Amino acid sequence: MSASLRLVHPPEDLDSERWDAVLRRDASADGTFWTCVKTTGVYCLPSCSGRPKRENVFFTETRAEAEAAGFRPCKRCRPDRFLIGGVKDRIDELDWGRAHDALNTNGWAALGRLLSDEDCAGLINAYEEDALYRSRVVMRRHGFGEGEYRYFADPAPQLVSDLRTGLYEKLAPLANEWAKALKQDRTYPHDHAAYRRRCAKAGQKRPTPLILKYGPGDYNRLHQDLYGGEVFPIQIAILLSQPGRDFEGGEFVMTEQTPRRQSRAMVAPLEKGSAIAFAVNERPLEGARGTYRVKMRHGVSEVRSGARYCLGVIFHDAA
Ligand SMILES: O=C(O)CCC(=O)C(=O)O
Ligand SMILES: [Fe+2]
C-alpha cells in the first residue's frame, strides 16, 4: 500500500498518516512501514503498545532500512517476527547482504522468520500423512542418533517447494563465489529447476527436503548431508517448534575445522519459524596466507523434554 500512497501524497502527509496509525495502534498497518524510536534505539510495528513521542520517531519503508540505521527489533511487538506476503515475498525481504557476510565469516547465518505459526503447525500435523513422503529413517538403525525423519516425495508440498526454489536463487550467487574461491571448476545455475536437472544427470534424482522429529532423549550426531558427488554447498533448516515451550534442549550445533586448528563449536539461536543457512561441507575462509578450506558439520544436542520438529531444505537431490 505504501507505494501507491506515496505517489499521491507528499511525504509529510504520508508521515502524518503513519503517525495516526501509530496513535491508533492500527494492526492493519503492520508491515506497511516501520517506526524507529530514537530514544530507545528500537523499531516497532504500528500496533506496538509502546507510546513514543512524535519528535522521537521516524519511519522507514523496510526493516532493512531500520536495521541499517542501527535500530534493533522491539522486544514487545517483535517486528522481526512479522511476516509479509507469501513465501517468495518473505524470502525477498530478508537481508541477503548480511546473510552472505555471516556465511562468509562464520559459515552460517540466522536468516530470521520465514514460516508463520500456522505454517509450522501445518507441517507438523502433516508428519504422519504417509502419502507426502518417500521414506522414513529411524536414526538409531544407521547410527545417526536418536529420533526419526521423513523425506518428502516428489513433488513436495507447495510451501516446501516454494522455499526450496526461492532460497536456492538467493544462495546460488554465494555458492558460485565459494566454488571460485575454492578453485572448484564448477558453477551453479541460477534457478533450482536447472540445478535439479544437473543432479538428475549425475544420478541424483530423489528429493531431499525432510522433516525431522525428536522426542525426549533424542539427538542428531554431527554430520554432513552429502548424497553423492553433486553437492550444493549451503543448506537451510527451519525450526517448527518453539524452544522453551514445545521442547527443552535440542540446540542446533555446528563445528568447523580449520587446517592445523582444533574444532570450533557454534550454537545457532533458533525460534519457531526461523531459518538458518549453513555450509554443508566445505567453505572458503580468507586468511592471512590465502584461502583456507574449512570443514563444517551440524547436528542437534539432546532434547530433554517435549517434541522438536525441524524442516530441512537441502538443494542437491539424492542418489
Ligand atoms: O533438526 C535439526 O535442527 C537439524 C536437521 C538437519 O540435520 C538438517 O536439516 O540437515
Ligand atoms: Fe543434516
CATH homologous superfamily for the domain 88-313: q2cbj1_9rhob like domain (2.60.120.620)
Q: Note the pLDDT of residue 13.
A: 87
Respond yes or no on whether the N-terminal peptide bond of residue 269 is cis (omega within 30° of 0): no
C-alpha of residue 86 to centroid of ligand 2, in Å:
26
> What are the grid coordinates assigned to 34, written together?
516501520
Alpha carbon distance 2, 14 (integer Å): 9
The segment(s) of the chain belonging to CATH 2.60.120.620 are 88-313
* pLDDT one-digit tens code per residue, 135-191: 999 999 999 999 999 999 999 999 999 999 999 999 999 999 999 999 999 999 999
Q: Which DSSP string corresponds to 41-95?
A: TEEE-TT-S----GGGEEEESSHHHHHHTT-EE-TTT-GGG---SSHHHHHHHS-
The ligand that comes nearest to the alpha carbon of residue 312 is 1
User: In the structure, which protein residues have their CB atom closer than 6 angstroms to any atom of ligand 1?
Assistant: 212, 220, 225, 237, 252, 298, 300, 310, 312
CATH of domain 2-82: 3.40.10.10
Helix (H, G, I), strand (E, B) or coil at 312: strand
AA identity, residue 100: H
Q: Lay out the sheet containing 34-37: strands in order across.
A: 57-60, 34-37, 42-44, 72-73
Q: Which atom of ligand 1 is nearest to the CA of 210?
A: 9
Ramachandran assignment for 230, one of left (phi > 0), alpha (psi -120 to 50 degrees), beta (any other): beta
Q: How confident is the model at residue 85 (pLDDT cuts 50, 70, 90)?
A: confident
Neighbours of 138 (CB within 10 A): 11
User: Which amino acid makes up residue 163?
Assistant: L
Q: Hey, whose CA ends up nearest to atom 9 of ligand 1?
A: 312
The residue to mutate among 242, 300, 311, 315, having the most atoms of ligand 1 within 8 angstroms of its beta carbon, is 300
For residue 260, the model assigns a pLDDT of 87
Q: Which amino acid, residue 238?
A: I
**Delimiting residues of CATH 3.40.10.10 domain(s) in the chain:** 2-82
What ranges in 69-213 are assigned the alpha helix state H?
A: 87-93, 96-106, 117-125, 139-142, 158-181, 192-201
Pairing of strands 72-73, 42-44: parallel
Average pLDDT over the chain reads 95
For residue 154, the 8-state DSSP code is S
Order of strands across the sheet with 108-113?
108-113, 274-279, 234-239, 308-313, 210-214, 148-152, 133-138
Task: Report the pLDDT value the prediction gives residue 121, as an integer from 0 to 100.
Answer: 97
Check if the beta carbon of residue 170 is closer than 8 Å to that of residue 109.
no
Quote ipTM for the complex. Answer: 0.99
Q: Would you say 6 and 59 are in contact if contact means Cβ atoms under 8 Å apart?
A: no
Grade residue 64 by pLDDT with cuts at 50, 70 and 90: confident
